[in-house]
Chain A
Amino acid sequence: MWGWCATSAEALAGFHHVVLGDPVLQRELLAAGERGGFVALVVERAQGRGWDVSADDVEEGLREGRRAWRERWV
């Protein structure tokens, strides 16, 4: 599948949707474990499916996830 994306955030969101519908891909990414390997694998799998996701996009997504969890009481 090829996806045209105006922004890298949209690319990550598009790949996010792909992952949620693919249990095999979910298991593979879950098993990646430590952060560095995980980021590289997300980039590889996303770009292999036509989503122009960079390592910076993934790192920002992880930071946002951590921020959202920390601020859940706010």
Chain B
Amino acid sequence: MAGAVGLSLAGWTPVRVGWEERRPVVTWCHTAGVPFTESFFDETVEACLRNPFRLLFQRRTDMVEVGRFVAEHPGLAPAGFIFHMSRCGSTLVSRMLAACPEHLVLSEAPPIDWVLRAASSQREPWLRWMVGALGQPRGTEERRLFVKFDAWSILDLAQVRRAFPGVPWLFLYRDPLEVLVSHARRRGAHTIPGVLPPELVGMTPAEAAECSLDDYAARVLACICKSALDHQDDPLATFAEYRQLPELVVSELASAWSLPVDAETLLDVARRDAKNPAVPFEPDRAAKQAGASPGMRAAAERWLAPLYDQLEKARAGQ
């Protein structure tokens, strides 16, 4: 492979993992000097690949090579993990944290998702190696690493906790009806039947195939919320509701995670749309509440309302 012994991986970042002949193969992109400032990891990689050198000259290694690289270049230690039910302000939190020059934030990096979903007994070391490889400092100022996981990754929270004991984590949630309305307008991958294995989200294949899209989305979100609640007694957990944003980041979260932050700099980020910072932020709670169909209201009431109440109790009991 191109990542043979002697060819340094410093300045390169894993961007993709796949199985080839039952072995994981990691593709790396040259990213030296590139700050990861876009809202999502893949957006930064897409920008990198516009340079033809980075598109043509990528590297491929096995997972052992990732481990060897991290042994010599450990990467930044994770200072906090962000889990969420989707469409609930998690991108805002990650962008606010990223506004601090001492912070490196990885937002929904597919190589991490791949490792968490890999059918392998090696997931735990692979996860540490992958976070280490992705968490290499880009410049000279970064001191702390934050990882925002995909929404469904909370189902693997126990695995993450074993790989990284001692790292505090946040679970963000929102009024379920507003989340369902958001997915009805633009479906997240995890709310589309067939993308996630039905058994992973507590359904049989027949149930997944027969229920409405709103019901399916609600049941997936319910599975996510239940997984978070299973860990509500973890002293490293912080539960937060969307309406606490953005102030939560510079107050409770900064305190819980012992982060020295410039509140004004971070709060300034919240004035822009987190997913499209070119436009100003527009509150949309009222519009989403008003835009909910009867089917969405029934799905939210049946599958999510009791869990939302439990999340609110967990948050109040912190």
Contact = CB atoms under 8 A, between A and B. Distances in A.
Given A21-B7, A26-B30, A38 B49 contact: no
| Size bracket, chain B contacts | 20 to 34
Nearest to A58: B56
B59 A62 contact: no
Contact of A20 (B2, B45, B51, B55): B2
Interface in B27-61: 27, 30, 45-46, 49, 51-59
B198 interface: no
Contacts of B2: 16-17, 20
A72 B6 contact: no
B110 interface: yes
A72 to B, nearest CB: 5
B57 A20 contact: yes
A65 B51 contact: no
Given A16-B2, A61-B56, A62-B55, A69 B49 contact: yes
Nearest to B33: A30
18 contacts: A20-B2, A20-B57, A20-B59, A26-B53, A30-B51, A33-B51, A38-B53, A39-B52, A42-B56, A58-B56, A61-B56, A62-B55, A65-B55, A65-B58, A66-B49, A69-B45, A69-B49, A72-B110
